Structure 1
Amino acid sequence: MGKIVLVTGAARQLGGRFVRRIQRDPGVDRVIALDAVTPGHQLGDAEFVLADIRQSAIARVLAEHSVDTVVHLDVSAKALGAGGRTTVKETNVIGTMQLLGACQKS
Structure 2
Amino acid sequence: MKEISVSELKQWQDEGKEFQLIDVREPFEYEMSNLGGQNIPLANVLLEKDKISKDIPVVMQCRSGARSAAALNQLEQNGYTNVYNLKGGILAWAAEIDPELSVY
TM-score (norm 1): 0.41
Higher relative contact order (CA 8 A, sep 6+): 2
Compare the two structures and name the one with the higher strand fraction.
Answer: 1
Q: TM-score, normalised by structure 2?
A: 0.41
